[in-house]
């Protein structure tokens, strides 16, 4: 465990390497402040022994001037220390937050499937805040206090070895208490940060599902649920504060005991003229010089302990290995025609059962492949293997004859467009959402994509048109409007391969018609995989795959599958048989 903490600290300190100049200036300022602090008691000692006792006014004025200069030097040094340590604090936080965010971006779907968003938010905010305070402030402050303590002990020893030894006992106890406190509080803080993550997750889920909460009038229940978790956080925080409260005053009392011992043994030495009054005053001044720093030791040890716990939580995400990785010699295809081949593909989540079982299919360029089957049959999982959201555990997925694992992930996904049942929109303008896949798009091409997606007309009816802010997750738009913006986004990106996952299942008939028109335009010349529950949208596909329990149980065109007395014929009888018989009678 100690080795792990050492590695964590070493890794944290590595973030200071790009800022060697600022770190050096902060350390120089800190060193100057320590030297000036140690110098002032010596000046006061001289003023007492040579000016006050001897009645020399000129010596008193000279000593006062030197004390003033030393105070100014100390102030300037502390300014440099504080300025540059704050600079380091925020620079390290900037870099650490960017690295954490990029790591989360690169992690595959399998990671996000089991990780709470609230927990990630807690690590990106609370944990990084605790870490940055130690790296920028705590590290330099600990160094300053360590140098100050050593300097004070050396200065006291030079003045009086005996009195230094007398004061050393309480100071050693202070150090022992600080170390013990740091070890204890580290465990508490780790539990505290984990509870902050629970609170963040609870709030994030409640706010995301606020409509559902209100529909079922569960505000009271959610308040109680949050209050329960919040109470756990308070209990853990109180335990930390109680430990802090017990240890911090104890350090101050021990320092007072050291001063009392100096007076008890040093007073008679002054009376017997074995020591000058100035020397005794200097000894007490040195101990008082430690008062603030020694009490601050508890805070800094706490900060160091909490920082390493927080850093471990951050690095655990940064170091999470991605199951989806590029080959060292991954290539970018020169030209993509869009042929997709599944060659005996199977897939299962980690050590779980197979969700896709030995699937083989060939989708030629420009063909439409329809996937149908019961809920949980593996339709979406199968299409998620094409952009490598997951990797097949057996078999190969080929694009134009090349294993998709041999291609760069960016080049592969740039050739794939997806329109899902619940299309996500960012809280930005309609224009920015459409142009998300092509940030260099002109307004003319953007509008052309919107027109083809049957979205231009309703967009123009908004007062701000394409500059309308859609709100969080597109909350200001209807489901059909969001779908058509998503289709426009896919059109603008101009992919060779399309994946349409139940993109018309949750809209009314009129909107479905508009979306279907937009999809028909989008699918022209592109290899398309369509997932739908309604056979009406699938019957014209070039090939239909019927999945059940992860396996392809039927495959062929609509008319061929009707001749088989299988699952597809059963679905047809439920959905379309009566409608088509009525149409034939009407003719």
- C-alpha to C-alpha distance for 412 and 396, rounded to whole angstroms: 15
- C-alpha to C-alpha distance for 539 and 557, rounded to whole angstroms: 8
- C-alpha to C-alpha distance for 12 and 132, rounded to whole angstroms: 9
- C-alpha to C-alpha distance for 167 and 259, rounded to whole angstroms: 7
In this predicted model, what pLDDT tens digit does every residue of 412-455 receive, in sequence order?
888 888 887 777 888 888 888 888 878 788 888 888 888 887 88
| Domain ranges across the chain | 2-318, 336-415+541-587
Q: Say yes or no: do domains 2-318 and 336-415+541-587 share a fold.
A: no
Q: How many CB atoms lie within 10 A of CB 216?
A: 9
Buried b (16+ CB within 10 A) or exposed e, 127-153: bbebbbbbbbbbbbbbebbebbbebbb
- C-alpha to C-alpha distance for 504 and 422, rounded to whole angstroms: 10
- CATH classification of 336-415+541-587, choosing from 3.60.15.10, 3.40.1440.10, 3.20.20.10, 3.40.50.300? 3.40.50.300
Query: Which has more confidence, 207 or 492?
Result: 492
What is this structure's pTM? 0.71
In this predicted model, what pLDDT tens digit does every residue of 7-66 receive, in sequence order?
888 888 888 888 889 888 988 998 998 888 888 888 887 778 776 666 677 777 787 788
Residue 582 has pLDDT above 50, yes or no: no
Residue 584 has pLDDT above 50, yes or no: no
- The predicted pLDDT at position 86 comes to 86
In this predicted model, what pLDDT tens digit does every residue of 461-473 receive, in sequence order?
888 888 888 877 7
Q: Is 551 helix (H, G, I), strand (E, B) or coil?
A: strand
- The predicted pLDDT at position 396 comes to 92
Residue 553 has pLDDT above 80, yes or no: yes
The full 3-state SS of 73-100, as one line of letters, equals: HHHHHHHHHHHHHHHHHHHHHHHHHHHH
- The predicted pLDDT at position 342 comes to 92
- C-alpha to C-alpha distance for 482 and 453, rounded to whole angstroms: 11
Residue 537 has pLDDT above 80, yes or no: no
- C-alpha to C-alpha distance for 191 and 195, rounded to whole angstroms: 6
In this predicted model, what pLDDT tens digit does every residue of 226-254 receive, in sequence order?
888 888 888 888 877 777 777 767 777 88
Helix (H) or strand (E) holding 347, with range, is strand 340-348
- The predicted pLDDT at position 159 comes to 84
Mean pLDDT of the chain: 80
- The predicted pLDDT at position 586 comes to 46
Cβ-proximal residues to 583 (8 Å cutoff; 6+ apart), any chain:
none
Q: What is the mean pLDDT of residues 115-128?
A: 78
Looking at the chain, how many residues does it have?
587
- C-alpha to C-alpha distance for 234 and 255, rounded to whole angstroms: 32
Q: What is the mean pLDDT of residues 189-214?
A: 75
Q: Going along 381-533, which residue ranges are E strands?
A: 394-399, 402-403, 416-420, 497-501, 527-531
| The two structure tokens encoding residue 43 | 């000046």
CATH architecture of the domain 2-318 equals Up-down Bundle (1.20)
In this predicted model, what pLDDT tens digit does every residue of 138-156 receive, in sequence order?
788 888 888 888 888 888 8
């Amino acid at each position: 465990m100690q080795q792990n903490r050492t590695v964590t600290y070493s890794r944290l300190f590595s973030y200071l390497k790009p800022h060697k100049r600022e770190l050096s200036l902060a350390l120089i300022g800190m060193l100057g402040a320590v030297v000036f602090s140690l110098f002032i008691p010596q000046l006061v000692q001289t003023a007492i022994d040579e000016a006050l006792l001897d009645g020399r006014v000129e010596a008193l004025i000279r000593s006062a001037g030197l004390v003033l200069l030393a105070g100014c030097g100390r102030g300037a040094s502390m300014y440099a220390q504080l300025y540059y340590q704050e600079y380091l604090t925020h620079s390290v936080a900037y870099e650490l937050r960017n690295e954490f965010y990029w790591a989360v971006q690169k992690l595959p779907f399998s990671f996000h499937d089991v990780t709470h968003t609230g927990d990630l938010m807690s690590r990106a905010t609370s944990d990084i805040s605790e870490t940055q305070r130690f790296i920028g402030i705590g590290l330099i402050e600990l160094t300053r206090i360590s140098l100050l303590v050593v300097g004070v002990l050396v200065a006291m020893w030079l003045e009086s070895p005996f009195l230094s030894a007398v004061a050393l006992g309480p100071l050693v106890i202070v150090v022992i208490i600080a170390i013990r406190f740091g070890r204890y509080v580290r465990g508490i803080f780790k539990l505290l940060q984990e509870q902050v993550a629970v609170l963040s997750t609870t709030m994030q889920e409640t706010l995301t599902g606020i409509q559902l909460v209100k529909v079922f009038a569960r505000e009271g229940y959610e308040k109680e649920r949050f209050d329960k978790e919040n109470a756990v956080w308070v209990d853990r925080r109180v335990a930390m504060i109680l430990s802090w409260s017990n240890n911090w005053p104890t350090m101050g009392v021990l320092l007072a005991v050291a001063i009392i011992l100096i007076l008890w043994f040093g007073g008679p030495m002054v009376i017997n003229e074995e020591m000058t009054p100035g020397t005794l005053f200097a000894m007490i001044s040195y101990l008082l010089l430690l008062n603030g720093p020694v009490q601050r030791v508890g805070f800094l040890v706490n900060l160091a302990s909490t920082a390493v716990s927080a850093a471990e939580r951050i690095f655990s995400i940064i170091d999470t290995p991605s199951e989806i990785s590029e080959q060292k010699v991954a290539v970018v295809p020169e030209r993509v025609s869009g042929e997709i081949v599944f060659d005996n593909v199977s897939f299962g989540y980690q050590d779980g059962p197979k969700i896709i079982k030995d699937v083989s299919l060939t989708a030629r360029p420009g063909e439409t492949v329809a996937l149908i089957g019961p809920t949980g049959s593996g339709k979406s999982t199968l299409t998620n293997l094409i952009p490598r959201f997951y990797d097949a555990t057996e078999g190969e997925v080929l694009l134009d004859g090349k294993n998709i694992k041999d291609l760069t992930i960016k080049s592969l996904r740039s050739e794939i467009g997806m329109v899902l049942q619940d299309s996500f929109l960012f809280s930005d303008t309609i224009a920015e959402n459409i142009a998300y896949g092509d940030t260099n798009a002109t307004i003319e091409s953007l509008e052309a994509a919107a027109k083809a997606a049957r979205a231009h007309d309703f967009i123009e009816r908004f007062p701000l048109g394409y500059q309308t802010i859609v709100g969080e997750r597109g909350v200001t738009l209807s489901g059909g409007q969001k779908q058509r913006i998503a289709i426009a986004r896919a059109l603008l990106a101009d992919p060779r391969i399309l994946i349409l996952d139940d993109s018309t299942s949750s809209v009314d008939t009129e909107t479905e018609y508009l979306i279907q028109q937009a999809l028909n335009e989008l699918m022209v010349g592109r290899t398309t995989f369509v997932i739908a529950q309604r056979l009406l949208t699938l019957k014209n596909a070039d090939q239909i795959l019927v999945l059940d329990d992860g396996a392809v149980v039927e495959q062929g065109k609509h008319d061929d599958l009707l001749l088989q007395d299988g699952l597809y014929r059963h679905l047809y009888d439920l959905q379309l048989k009566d409608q088509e018989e009525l149409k034939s009678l009407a003719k």
